[in-house]
């Protein structure tokens, strides 16, 4: 490794060679090793959690996996982690597989070498839960209230889960024959194994959720009937209708949308394609379409009924035996921007390229060219020049045609508002306020892609917040302002109760010197609702270089992709999961490293008695000995100690 690389690593030094400016005296005023400040233990949210749309308390369940937060009694640590994990998201096995992990993008560990493999740990715990038939907690006391949940996808199922935890009855109305929404019909089955998906859905239904399949609101059941029979309504209909390409000729029968293509595949109706397929767009849906097309392959259709568009539009079903004669498909992605600007997950983009999909970037679709039969025979495109300011110039004089037999548009999605058109905001979506109430619609709440198509975990986060709002609505309470950091926060009081360490009841009257009182947590401050701890407040030099343990990914090249519907990733073994969790830096919370106690020159910091320890209650300070030297703050790896008392 080069000297330059060595110097870039975190060190134990606060200043580096050549520094001429001191840190702000307002934050570090120490005279002869003493100051007027003493340490406080300040809990702040970690950036992984702040980056997670469903607000996972990631640090807490990683702390369980690594063996620091131990379960009470004979509870298995994996079940303990499962319970903490599913408090925010009831789909750990699915999310561990398909979530693009914005939590890892925010991980402070990347300042040392690379982020913690959060998804791999989540998948392990979720799979263990399925293997051991773990159920969710029993519903709370029944409230007598009932909520209609419209849509059985991730948002609707998550809403049902959170409602039942509160003892609120709910009925899911699903327009299709199965629950799962995008998890079943939008994401290819080799990424969301059906046994895994079915197992995670069953746990929710087993909590006492009523389900009506093949029931479309607006057609089979009116909105007025919902309002008459239920106390509130949660809309989770998704945005499952692909937007048509906004160019002439796009009404051709063999121009279809990406959502319809994936649904036909996931329902086992689409077995192959015929000729070259052009996928327009470069988001995650476009990547899934391209990957599926390469896997199902190409054969020459024998008749009109066998054409892929007829299957996608629901007119027929492919013959599986006929599909056995398929060959590798010719699949192109056409994108008007440079492919480096693609919104798709980087890993998915790299995967489809490795699997033989051809990328054609900086090409603007101009027109679908029709043959004498009215079907698309080619796509007319023109090169695009992009200026540094993001403006584009379409070179129409250089336009050319790309021959094809099927065009799949993956450039956006809409909801289907048939029968309740007044909920449409004019853009094919619904509007919501910060509490996820439908604007100007009393008793109606909304979440998921129908607000704005995004990640599965985003839909689950919407559902969690919406259910809090529904509960307040049913109790005729006014909504309270959402916190700045709106996540499932670690709660020290709950942690103490879990370990039977709850503070004594306050007897009332004047209270002084609460550091000696057993009813108070005297030197703890919770700022997690308003602050996320940044990397520059951690002592990064504490952490040795320890690269991520990655799940094994099957190498699927263009020669192996045809007919390959196996899962790409193999989950980590238990010992690797524990080792990966141990890389977590526990940003914003103590993880029992002993640094503050070891380095305190006054022996002012000491361990809490073993019988009274819990996460967040591992060390304490004798303020009679503390001289405010700042050393404990400087050597705290997680940024949990702040010099504040005495101000």
pLDDT in tens, 593-642: 999 999 999 999 999 999 989 999 999 999 889 999 999 999 999 999 99
User: Which two three-digit tokens encode residue 205?
Assistant: 């239904």
Higher-pLDDT residue of 207, 389: 207
Strand order in the sheet with 146-150: 210-212, 169-173, 146-150, 232-235, 444-446
Q: Are 344 and 353 in contact (CB under 8 A)?
A: no
Q: Is the pLDDT of residue 475 over 50?
A: yes
Beta-bridged to residue 280, according to DSSP, are 334, 409
How far is it between the farthest Cα atoms of the chain? 92
pLDDT of the residue at 521:
73
Q: Indicate the pLDDT class of residue 301, thresholds 50, 70 and 90.
A: low
> 627: how many CB neighbours lie within 10 A of its CB?
18
DSSP output for 551-603: PEE----TTT-TT--S-SEEPPPHHHHHHHHTT---TTS-----HHHHH-TT-
Q: Is the pLDDT of residue 135 over 60?
A: yes
pLDDT of the residue at 25:
58
Structural fold of domain 146-240+415-474: FAD/NAD(P)-binding domain (3.50.50)
Helix (H) and strand (E) counts in the chain: 20, 23
pLDDT of the residue at 55:
95
pLDDT of the residue at 511:
66
Q: Is the pLDDT of residue 2 over 50?
A: no
Give percent of the chain with pLDDT exceeding 70: 91
Question: Where along the chain do the CATH 3.50.50.60 domains lie?
Answer: 146-240+415-474, 243-411
User: Which two three-digit tokens encode residue 419?
Assistant: 């029968």
Q: Can you tell me the distance from the alpha carbon of 623 to that of 602, in angstroms, rounded to the nearest whole number? A: 10
Q: Indicate the pLDDT class of residue 6, thresholds 50, 70 and 90.
A: very low
Q: Indicate the pLDDT class of residue 3, thresholds 50, 70 and 90.
A: very low
Q: Indicate the pLDDT class of residue 317, thresholds 50, 70 and 90.
A: low
Average pLDDT estimate for 431-440: 94
Q: Return all residues near 408 (Cβ < 8 A) that are at least 6 apart.
A: 256, 257, 258, 261, 277, 278, 279, 280, 286, 289
User: Which two three-digit tokens encode residue 518?
Assistant: 């057993």
Average pLDDT estimate for 236-263: 92
**pLDDT tens track for 71-126:** 988 999 999 999 999 999 999 999 999 999 999 999 999 999 999 999 999 999 99
Q: Are 309 and 268 in contact (CB under 8 A)?
A: no
pLDDT of the residue at 555:
83
Of 304-313, 316-325, 327-336, highest mean pLDDT: 327-336
- What's the chain's Rg over C-alpha atoms? 28
Q: Return all residues near 627 (Cβ < 8 A) that are at least 6 apart.
A: 33, 34, 35, 602, 604
DSSP single-letter state for residue 444 = E
DSSP single-letter state for residue 184 = I
pLDDT of the residue at 327:
76
What superfamily in CATH does domain 243-411 come from? FAD/NAD(P)-binding domain (3.50.50.60)
Q: Can you tell me the distance from the alpha carbon of 282 to that of 335, in angstroms, rounded to the nearest whole number? A: 6
pLDDT of the residue at 498:
87
pLDDT of the residue at 7:
44
Nearest CA among 594, 577, 633, 639 for reference residue 29: 633
pLDDT of the residue at 257:
93
- Which pTM does this prediction carry? 0.90
What does the mean pLDDT of the chain come to? Answer: 90
- DSSP E strand boundaries for 349-440: 358-360, 363-370, 376-386, 392-394, 400-403, 406-409, 413-414
| Percent helix, percent strand, percent coil in the chain, to nearest 5 | 30, 15, 55
**pLDDT tens track for 42-63:** 999 999 999 999 999 999 999 9
pLDDT of the residue at 592:
94
Q: Can you tell me the distance from the alpha carbon of 583 to that of 540, in angstroms, rounded to the nearest whole number? A: 12
User: Which two three-digit tokens encode residue 498?
Assistant: 């879990």
| CA atoms within a 13 Å half-sphere pointing along the CA-CB vector of 294 | 24
Q: Are 380 and 399 in contact (CB under 8 A)?
A: yes
Q: Is the pLDDT of residue 508 over 90?
A: no
């Amino acid at each position: 490794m080069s000297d330059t690389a060595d110097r870039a690593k975190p060190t134990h030094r606060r200043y580096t060679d050549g520094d001429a400016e001191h840190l702000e005296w307002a934050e570090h005023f120490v005279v002869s090793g003493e100051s007027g400040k003493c340490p406080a233990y300040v809990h702040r949210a970690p950036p992984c959690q702040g980056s997670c749309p469903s607000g996972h308390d990631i640090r807490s369940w990683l702390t369980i996996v690594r063996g620091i937060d131990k379960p009470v009694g004979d509870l298995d640590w994996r079940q303990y982690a499962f319970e903490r994990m599913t408090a925010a998201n009831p789909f750990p096995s699915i999310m561990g597989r398909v979530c693009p992990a914005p939590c890892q993008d925010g991980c402070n560990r990347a300042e040392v070498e690379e982020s913690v493999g959060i998804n791999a740990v989540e998948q392990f715990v979720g799979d263990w839960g399925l293997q051991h038939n773990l159920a969710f907690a029993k519903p709370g006391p029944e409230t007598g209230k009932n909520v209609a949940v419209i849509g059985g996808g991730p948002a609707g199922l998550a809403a049902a889960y959170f409602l039942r935890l509160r003892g609120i009855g709910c009925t899911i109305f699903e327009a299709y024959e199965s629950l799962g929404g995008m998890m079943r019909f939008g994401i290819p089955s080799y990424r969301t194994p059906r046994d895994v998906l079915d197992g995670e859905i069953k746990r929710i239904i087993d909590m006492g959720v009523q389900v009506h399949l093949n029931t479309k609101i607006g057609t089979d059941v009116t909105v007025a009937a919902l309002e008459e029979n239920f106390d509130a309504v949660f809309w989770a209909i998704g945005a499952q209708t692909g937007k048509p390409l906004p160019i002439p000729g796009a009404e051709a029968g063999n121009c279809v949308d990406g959502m319809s293509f994936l649904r036909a595949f996931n329902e086992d109706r689409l077995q192959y394609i015929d000729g070259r397929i052009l996928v327009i767009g470069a988001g995650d849906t476009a990547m899934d379409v391209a990957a599926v097309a390469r896997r199902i392959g190409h054969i020459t259709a024998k008749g009109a009924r066998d054409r892929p568009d007829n299957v996608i539009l629901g007119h027929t079903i492919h013959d599986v035996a006929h599909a056995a004669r398929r060959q590798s498909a010719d699949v192109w992605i056409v994108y008007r921007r440079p492919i480096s600007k693609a919104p798709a997950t980087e890993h998915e983009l790299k995967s489809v390229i490795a699997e033989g999909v051809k990328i054609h970037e900086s090409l603007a679709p101009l027109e679908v060219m029709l043959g004498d039969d009215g079907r698309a025979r080619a796509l007319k495109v023109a090169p695009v020049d992009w200026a540094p300011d993001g403006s584009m110039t379409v070179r129409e004089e250089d336009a050319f045609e790309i021959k094809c037999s099927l065009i799949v548009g993956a450039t956006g999605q809409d909801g289907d508002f048939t029968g309740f058109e007044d909920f449409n905001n004019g853009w094919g979506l619904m509007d919501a306020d910060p509490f996820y109430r439908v604007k100007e619609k009393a008793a109606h709440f909304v979440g998921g892609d129908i607000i704005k198509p995004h990640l599965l975990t985003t839909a689950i986060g919407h559902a969690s917040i919406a259910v809090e709002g529904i509960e307040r609505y049913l109790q005729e309470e006014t909504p309270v302002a959402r916190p700045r950091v709106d996540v499932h926060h670690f709660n020290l009081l709950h942690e103490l109760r879990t370990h039977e360490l709850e503070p004594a009841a306050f007897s009332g009257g004047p209270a002084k010197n609460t550091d000696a009182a057993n009813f108070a947590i005297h030197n703890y401050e919770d700022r997690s609702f308003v602050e996320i701890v940044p990397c520059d407040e951690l002592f990064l030099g504490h952490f040795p270089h320890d690269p991520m343990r990655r799940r094994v990914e099957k190498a699927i090249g263009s020669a192996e992709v045809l007919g390959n519907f196996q899962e790409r990733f193999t989950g980590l073994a238990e010992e690797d999961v524990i080792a990966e969790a141990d890389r977590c830096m526990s940003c914003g919370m103590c993880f029992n490293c002993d640094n503050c106690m070891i380095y305190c020159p006054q022996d002012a910091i000491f361990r809490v008695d073993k019988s009274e320890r819990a996460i967040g209650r591992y060390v304490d300070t004798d303020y009679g000995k503390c001289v405010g030297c700042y050393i404990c703050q400087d050597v705290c790896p997680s940024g949990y100690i702040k010099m504040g008392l005495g101000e």
